[in-house]
Structure 1
Amino acid sequence: MRSPLPRRLGLTAVLALVLAVFGLAPSASAAPADAELTFTTDAATTTPGGTVNVSMTLTNNKTYDIWFVYQTIDPTWLTTQRPDLKYSFTGCTLTAPSGSSACSGTGPANLGANYGATVPPGQSRTVTLTLQVAADSGCNGNIGFYSYFYVEFSDSTSVSGGPVYTPETRVLCA
């Protein structure tokens, strides 16, 4: 006579798997990233000759200061496939708790210097780039960008992130 033990163990294993897959087993809570980068734009559409402000906010979620940031910004592949879309970044502003000031460098590499020297724990810095669409730009296409970043903290740790995508801006014919 065969023992029913293997059949019972198999049934127990299948039941445990089902409980784990459908979330009935204990789960770990997701902690926020040590540093996160988010993008917003002040307009979803523009016309040739118009401008759109692209804001990048770097938030320090760690208990140590951010000492160094390196960040790039590049057009998405779909943006590069439209050679009739003409645009450039023409301005840069840093917004910090102490107020706003002009910053240098508008891309594509090392935008990190624009965030200022130190970002204390729990604080954010926002850099706003002005995207100027040329007056002779093509229409009915989307302009979008993506970014990678690298952050070093005062406890000698670091974190890399990306790609982080901007909202797309649609260039409309008037």
Structure 2
Amino acid sequence: MGRLSLSAALASVVALLGLAQPASAAPVEPMSITVDKTSATPGSTVNITLKFTNDQTTNAQFVYQSIQPTYATTSDPAVKYAFTTCTGDTSSCTVPTKQSGATVFNAPVLPGASKTVTMSYQIAADSACGPSRRVEFYTYLYYEYQGGQLNKSGLFPVGATDIACKPALAHAGR
């Protein structure tokens, strides 16, 4: 019984020491994306905020990001939208086709620091609306660090915005 108690006490001490280790920080995701509307009506503006966080231990020297419509969006010709503005921590922002866009974030980006760009698009007033009508994108991120010697890239989904039809106006005088 004495050995069992001693073993249990030692196991408890070891477990407590293991729990006392400093918690390791969760890895930083290099890209965070928010869309300000999950549903919008024709004529509405939707804002997509792209936040790049340098997850490296050296400066990010170059950060490029493009935003493209998904196949589901491009395969519905009745869904109409166009990018209108791009603002934030960017040295270059283009919307060459009005259906997609690209930005180069201001650099350098220090380790752990973030830069944010907001791209806005407008759903056309004559766009189709209703069930299964939506605008959705994906984004491609590419960045260089360690004096430009190393790079990382990846694809990230962007939340979809459903295109809801405007409610019918009630007739006055009824």
Q: TM-score, normalised on structure 1?
A: 0.71
Q: What CA distance in whole angstroms lies between the structure 1 residues aligned with 2:126 and 2:101? A: 26
**Does structure 1 residue 87 correspond to structure 2 residue 87?**
no
**Does structure 1 residue 104 correspond to structure 2 residue 93?**
yes
TM-superposed deviation, 1:69: 1.7
- Which consecutive residues of structure 1, in runs of 5 or more, have no partner in the other structure? 1-28, 96-100
Equivalent position of 1:153 in the other structure:
145
Per-residue CA shift, 1:14-69, capped at 9, x if unaligned?
A: xxxxxxxxxxxxxxx99636x62221111111100000101111110111111112
**Contact 2:83–2:101, Cα closer than 8 Å, also in 1:** no
TM-superposed deviation, 1:104: 2.9
Out of 96, 108, 113, the position equivalent to 1:118 is: 108
Per-residue CA shift, 1:52-110, capped at 9, x if unaligned?
A: 10111111011111111222211011111211011011001115xxxxx8963236354
**Contact 1:87–1:131, Cα closer than 8 Å, also in 2:** yes
Pair 159,30 (structure 1): closer, same or farther in 2 beyond 3 Å? farther
Per-residue CA shift, 1:91-133, capped at 9, x if unaligned?
A: 01115xxxxx89632363542x1x1121111011111011111
Q: What CA distance in whole angstroms lies between the structure 2 residues aligned with 1:83 and 1:52? A: 19
- Correspondence list, 1:127-146, <5 A: 127-140=117-130, 141-146=133-138
Equivalent position of 1:49 in the other structure:
43
**2:72 is paired with a residue of what secondary structure?**
helix
**1:168 is paired with a residue of what secondary structure?**
strand
Q: What CA distance in whole angstroms lies between the structure 2 residues aligned with 1:102 and 1:142? A: 30
Q: What CA distance in whole angstroms lies between the structure 2 residues aligned with 1:135 and 1:102? A: 31
Aligned residue-pair number? 137
Q: What CA distance in whole angstroms lies between the structure 2 residues aligned with 1:160 and 1:71? A: 9
Equivalent position of 1:32 in the other structure:
27
Equivalent position of 2:57 in the other structure:
63
- Which consecutive residues of structure 2, in runs of 5 or more, have no partner in the other structure? 1-23, 167-174
